[in-house]
Amino acid sequence: MNTENQARATASFTLRYQQPSDFHADAVQLLTHLERDEVQFAGKVKQPLAFREGLATLFAIVSSDYRYIPKDRTAYLAFMQMRRSARHQGLAKAYRAYFDWLLRNDPQAWLMLDPIISVHPDGLFLEVFSKDEACYAALALDQDLFETQGKLQFGTTHIDFSPELAQGLEQIRSFRSTHFAVGKTAVNFQTETAPALPDTEIIEKRIQVPQTWIRGLLQVQSAAQLPADIFHLKPIDLYNALRYLRLHADVKGKKRGLRIELVPNQPPRLILEPTDQVIEGSAEPYQGQQAKLIRLWGRRRLSLLKRFLPFAETIEVQVLGHGLPSFWILGGSGMSLTLAITGFTSSNWSQALNFDLLLPRRSETLAELTTVVAALQKVYVATLEELVVTTQLSELVCRTALQQASQQGLVIYDLAHDVYRYRPLTQEPLDMSHFQFRHPAEKLAYDLVARQQAISQLQLNLLPLEGIEISATITVKEDKRDYLAKLKLTEEGQISKASCSCHQIMTQGLSHGACSHLLALRIAYAAQQAKRDLSMITQETRLFTRRHQQQREQIQVTLNHQRLLISRELNQHIKPQQFAFNSVQEARQAYLGKIAQLELSGFIEG
Reply yes or no on domain 220-356 having CATH 3.10.150.10: yes
Tell me the per-residue pLDDT of 393-438, one tens digit each, with 9 for 90 and over.
Answer: 999 889 889 988 888 889 999 999 999 999 998 888 777 777 777 7
pLDDT at site 191: 41
- Tell me the mean pLDDT in the region 582-590: 91
Distance in angstroms (rounded) separating the CA atoms of residues 346 and 134: 9
Q: Which amino acid is at 545?
A: T
Q: ∠100-24-167 over CA atoms, to 5°?
A: 60
Q: Between 454 and 77, name the one with better pLDDT.
A: 454
Q: Which H helix or E strand runs over 231?
A: strand 229-233
Would you state the pLDDT for residue 90?
Answer: 62
The distance of Cα 155 from the centroid of its chain, to the nearest Å, equals 25
Residue ranges, comma separated, of all CATH 1.10.10 domains in the chain are 369-434
pLDDT band with cut points at 50, 70 and 90 for residue 189: very low
Residues of the chain with CATH 3.10.150.10: 220-356
State in words which class domain 369-434 has.
mainly alpha
Q: Which DSSP symbol is given to 429?
A: P
Which of 155, 176, 151 is CA-nearest to residue 28?
A: 176
Asked if residues 3 and 517 have their Cβ atoms less than 8 Å apart, the reply is: yes
Cβ contacts of 382 within 8 Å, gap of 6 or more: 375, 376, 390, 419, 420
Note the helical H segments in 154-234: 163-169, 211-223
Strands (DSSP E) found in 527-572:
539-548, 551-560, 563-570
**How many C-beta atoms surround the C-beta of residue 97 within 10 A?**
15
Q: What is the DSSP string of 20-41?
A: --EEETTEEEEEBPTTS---BE
pLDDT value of residue 367: 81
Determine the pLDDT at residue 46.
94
Could you read off the pLDDT of 243-291 as tens digits, one per residue? Answer: 999 999 888 778 888 999 998 889 999 999 888 899 999 999 999 888 8
Domain 535-605 belongs to what topology? q64v53_bacfr protein fold (2.20.140)
Per 3-state DSSP, the chain is made up of helix, strand and coil in percentages (nearest 5) of 30, 30, 40
Average pLDDT score over the chain: 83
Beta strands across the sheet bearing 277-280: 277-280, 269-272, 258-262, 292-296
Written as one string, the DSSP assignment of 290-331 is: S-EEEEES-GGGGGGGTTTGGGEEEEEEEE-STTS-EEEEEE
Most trustworthy range by pLDDT among 299-308, 337-346, 494-503? 299-308
CA separation, residue 250 to residues 256, 323, 344, 495 (Å): 7, 18, 17, 21
352 or 326: which carries more pLDDT confidence? 326
Does residue 274 have a cis bond before it (omega within 30 degrees)? yes
CA distance 25 to 160: 19
What would the mean pLDDT of 71-86 be, rounded to a whole number?
65
Work out whether strand 178-183 and strand 41-45 pair parallel, antiparallel, or are unpaired: antiparallel
Look at 56-65, 187-196, 496-505, 506-515 and tell me which has the smallest mean pLDDT: 187-196
Q: What does the pLDDT read at residue 8?
A: 47
- CA dist., res. 376 & res. 397, Å (int): 15
530-575: per-residue pLDDT in tens? 777 777 788 788 888 887 766 788 888 888 889 999 988 887 788 8
Whether pLDDT at 221 is above 60 = yes
- The pLDDT assigned to 200 comes to 42
